Amino acid sequence: MVATAIGRKKCYFGAGYWHDADKPAVGAIILNDEGRYISTLNAPLPSCSSPLMAEAFAGKEVLSWLWNHGERSLDLFTYCLTLQQYLTSATTPVRSYLGYAIDACRARIISFDYCSVVFIPRIDNFLVHTLASSAFTQSIAMYWDSVPPDSVSEHFE
């Protein structure tokens, strides 16, 4: 996992997209500045037409979860370079469902005291991919505070 400023939490997130079933899902994990576990989310997402749209929907879901979780200053890590570029550039995406999802992410990001969006290789974000993949069969969002779910717990022992 990537180091950040002392005291600032890290949130890793990503989407899974099961194309044949048109099922997107999200996984996210919050760590403290020392890499210790704080909380996890995984959830199915609304149907969408592409992996990029799934990533944008995942971003919306994660940013809302972080806000509702009381997080206001953090570094946000994604393995989707295109989404990271959309969220950090001044360019406005095309008016589409994707564009509206990205606009919603940007609006939430600016409401935080501090929120950087950082690209990392997928291999460095494998825990959230595991979490997202396990949400394909769920009907609701699942949250784990203090104790990680079994699917990733071995990484925090």
Query: Is the pTM above the cut of 0.85?
Result: yes
| Residue 89 belongs to some domain of the structure | yes
* HEC sequence for the chain: CCCCCCCCEEEEEEEEEEHHHCEEEEEEEEECCCCCEEEEEEEECCCCCCHHHHHHHHHHHHHHHHHHCCCCEEEEEECCHHHHHHHHCCCCCCCCHHHHHHHHHHHHHHHCCEEEEEECCHHHHHHHHHHHHHCCCCCCCEEEECCCCHHHHHHHC
Range among 14-28, 59-73, 89-103 with highest mean pLDDT value? 59-73
Question: Model confidence over 76-124: pLDDT tens digits?
Answer: 999 999 999 999 988 766 678 888 999 999 999 999 999 999 999 988 9
In a domain, 2, yes or no: no
- How many separate domains does the chain show? 1
Residue 108: inside a domain, yes or no?
yes
- Please report whether residue 141 resides in a domain: yes
Question: Is 39 inside a domain boundary?
Answer: yes
152 located within any domain: no
